[in-house]
Amino acid sequence: MTLEQQIKQAAIPTLERKWKIYVIHHSHTDLGYTDRQEKIEQYHVDFIRQALRVVNNAHNGVKPEWKGFRWTCETFWAVEQFLKQAGDEEKAAFADAVRRGDIELSGTYLNMTELPDLQLLNKIHSKAQKYAGSIGRPIDSAMTADINGYSWGYADSLLDNGIRHLFSCIHTHHGMYALGRKQSPFWWEAPSGERLLVWNGDHYMLGNELGFCPGALGKYMIRDEFGHRLVEPANIHDQIANIRIHRYLAQLEAEQYPYDFVPMMLSGLPTDNGSPNSAIMEWIDAWNRQNGEGISVEMSTLSAFFARLKEEGTDGLPVHKGDWPDWWSDGVSSTPMHTQIYRDAQRTLRKVEKLDPEQKSVSLQEIEAVEQALTLYAEHTWGYHSSVYEPWHKNVQMLEVRKTAHAAEASRLAYRALDQVLLADNAATLYPGRPYRFKVTNLSEREVTELVQLKLEGWEPDELLNGVEVIREDTGQVLIQQSSHPQTIIAELKLQGMESCILILRPILAAQKSLSSLTSTSNSKLIGADQVYDMEDMYPLTTGGQQAPVSVCQTGLESPFVRLTWSKERGIVSWIDKETGRELLKPDDLYGAFTPIYEVTNPANPADASQVWSVRSKMGRNRKGLNVERSVGQLISVRAVDNGPLYATVELGYQLKGIAYFSLHLRIYTRQNRMDISARFHKESVWNPENVYLALPFTPGGTGPVTLFADKPGGLVRPWKDQIPGTCLDYSAVQSGIAWQDNDRSLLLAVPDTPLVQWGTLDYGTRKVHTQQAPDAQPEAYAWLMTNYWETNFKATLGGFYEFQYHISAGDRLSVEDMAAALHALNEPFVVTRVNEK
């Protein structure tokens, strides 16, 4: 059947209402995906110039057919780049157009992932309002496109910057809109208690599919009988548009949509990063002359649309409070090493701000340079559109390098700023005779006991052959210390919130050195000539004449605070908290603590490169296929690395598919209920879609019901509880970490390197959204280390060497505020600086 025949036979429904369609014309901003980042910047600068020419020609009567044209700047980033390049006359013309309402600013800076912390969100959301205020046209509305979720604190960051309305243009590819209904408004109650008016919108280019833009007749969300091209003759285009617009509005009526108006987002070309298009205004004018009595169309702006919505009354709209997890937050785990560098840079920047609050050593411009690099990395676009099916393509390589360079630049600038601050605070550069003095600062607001690393240069241990004492200069206290490496001395130090002190190293005289420290054998440690320790000692293990606090054997370990047991099949199967005598691992969990889990979904024909793409395109919201193959790490080796008065280190080796080498390094503290875990591994390069997880089957070990908390920008939230209905249950990106709490105890897990946490089952199946889960259902927890399942712009291979850190701490029940502070403190080790004499 020909297209003309399809059109002739198509039924056009009769509408019961008289409709008004508000078209919002914008360009979806992807920093990458369609072209090189610098080319996209050039495009968006010119888009504003094009829009400016259109609205000025309409305003001046040169092109009266363009009257009513409106352009919405989807991101302030584009405006910022334009203002950097524009001359004074252009800047003035742009400001005039904004004041007239012909061009509108959105209060958002870019479409972001959930990587930024609240400080960065507040900073980037202040930019549009600051400029708007400078030209006398404050703004009240913002939009996002593509992303389909935000941290709960995102709402406060907008509200704190004068934004009262958010238009969310969701994209349901591997995602889904909230509330189970799109094209609907609601109030989003922020953590502060203030409310943001949200329009839960449709796809950001649905207006193209309905036919409002000549030459851009898309077919993505709408899957009807028409096998048309993007560019069709005007009569064909108009007939398809007429059918689709009537069908769309009829569907709204059938679903009892409550209004007689509807907003529609629209691009000037059938692509992301598309230009303005004055032909849209001419098409709208022609449509209104022919169909305006029943369906009128008006080009609008965000603020104008929300003003129209408010005319209907908003007091009766539903109010929802809680997190809005973004289905697309998983992109951060497709470049896990670079995300790790990003997160370290973000924390380093916060150290600089705390150490130099008045910006005496680091200028505001230097701080903003770090923030800009952080922002550009955290933007939602993760690569070129063909990253997976042609990973060798030149553009794939270029965009990947440019994207990851932002994380590297943020790290470089943040550490340079930190060096400047420390140098201004008496930090010692490298010179002969440099004193063994270290300034140690606790940047947390709470009291913290930390194992401080005092690092020496390669030749310096030779000067300290007989050993050293670590002394706190202000009190004369000799600190307990331990060394597992000649160039690193580790001492235990307690500091109050924001407190600093000086530690000095004092050499020990040869005569003072204990002979027992030279002993290389033991009469009581049950270890054979084969050096395999597979028996428990009959007598307490001693080191240097003192009992060693941690006992390690091939099947487990015991410290003053914990007793761990492991097995080949499941790894760490028991984790007893000796302060309570209770188990910290859920008894019914499939996997042991920190057990690595690898998944791969293989195409039917691995030799067919096209199937590498197609197998991914059918995954929906599962992030894996029905035929997913899962490999669980098998424990194959145990090795005690060191054991001393402050901590012991044990290495657990695992074997699993997809990973050539994997080991867990456990640092077991002897004087507090804490453990540091380091996952070190060599990931093989695999082109097929993969996931790597660590199991976290923890429970706090007290009594009563268990509540799981996640640290998000703006504060702690409870996954599966503090969420907007219809939002993602399976995973979310966190900031400092997660925590479990019951009536008696709190268990904290800091995740400095890997922000993505899986809450739902790993099994393939029907995915549920919030309010669909059983009332008594509890989230699981897995650290989701890496993924490459997306079929377009993720990095195709995850191969390489990695090390990711985790910190776990158990104790008495904490308030929510104290839990958040404690998680942050676990991720913020003391700042240690070698300093000069006074």
The helix/strand/coil state of 88 is helix
DSSP 297: E
Asked if residue 440 is part of any domain, the answer here is no
232: domain range? 15-312
Q: Are residues 355 and 414 located together in one domain of the fold?
A: yes
Q: Are residues 662 and 697 located together in one domain of the fold?
A: yes
Beta carbons within 8 Å of 512's beta carbon, 6+ residues apart: 466
Q: Are residues 473 and 420 located together in one domain of the fold?
A: no
Q: Are residues 231 and 355 located together in one domain of the fold?
A: no
333 pLDDT above the threshold of 60: yes
Q: Are residues 299 and 373 located together in one domain of the fold?
A: no
Asked if residue 541 is part of any domain, the answer here is no
Whether the CB-CB separation of 105 and 131 falls below 8 Å is answered with yes
Asked if residue 521 is part of any domain, the answer here is no
DSSP 684: P
φ, ψ for residue 541, nearest 5 deg:
-70, 135
Q: How far are the Cα atoms of 253, 265, 269, 325 from residue 262, in angstroms, in the given order?
A: 11, 10, 22, 26
The helix/strand/coil state of 125 is helix
Q: Are residues 168 and 56 located together in one domain of the fold?
A: yes
CATH number for the domain harbouring residue 742: 2.70.98.30
541 pLDDT above the threshold of 80: no
pTM value is 0.94
How far is 801 from 600, CA to CA, in rounded Å?
19
- DSSP E strands: which ranges in 752-792? 756-758, 782-787
Cα 28 → chain centroid: 21
* Structure tokens, 611: 């199937």
Q: Tokens 């030149």 correspond to what residue? A: 394
pLDDT at 531: 55
Q: Are residues 415 and 454 located together in one domain of the fold?
A: no
pLDDT at 533: 59
pLDDT at 532: 61
Q: pLDDT tens across 131-158, in order?
A: 999 999 999 999 999 999 999 999 999 9
How far is 748 from 734, CA to CA, in rounded Å?
13
DSSP 740: E
* CA angle at 823 for the pair 647 and 125, rounded to the nearest 5°: 145
How far is 698 from 313, CA to CA, in rounded Å?
47
Asked if residue 455 is part of any domain, the answer here is yes
Whether the CB-CB separation of 85 and 43 falls below 8 Å is answered with no
Among positive and negative, which fits the CA dihedral 395, 398, 401, 406? negative
Whether the CB-CB separation of 51 and 276 falls below 8 Å is answered with yes
Asked if residue 691 is part of any domain, the answer here is yes
Q: Are residues 254 and 393 located together in one domain of the fold?
A: no
Q: Are residues 154 and 266 located together in one domain of the fold?
A: yes
Q: Give the end of a domain, one of 312, 339, 362.
A: 312
The number of folded domains in the chain is: 4
520 pLDDT above the threshold of 50: no
How far is 151 from 559, CA to CA, in rounded Å?
39
Q: Are residues 257 and 337 located together in one domain of the fold?
A: no
Q: Give the end of a domain, one of 288, 312, 336.
A: 312
Q: Are residues 102 and 226 located together in one domain of the fold?
A: yes
Asked if residue 165 is part of any domain, the answer here is yes
Q: Give the end of a domain, one of 282, 312, 342.
A: 312
658 pLDDT above the threshold of 80: yes
Q: pLDDT tens across 790-821, in order?
A: 999 999 999 999 999 999 999 999 999 999 99
How far is 280 from 490, CA to CA, in rounded Å?
68
CATH number for the domain harbouring residue 110: 3.20.110.10
The helix/strand/coil state of 491 is strand
Q: pLDDT tens across 282-303, in order?
A: 999 999 999 999 999 999 999 9
Q: Are residues 336 and 258 located together in one domain of the fold?
A: no
**Strand 195-201 relative to strand 165-170, pairing:** parallel
Asked if residue 433 is part of any domain, the answer here is no
Asked if residue 131 is part of any domain, the answer here is yes
Cβ count within 10 A of residue 579: 15
Q: Which amino acid is at 699?
A: T
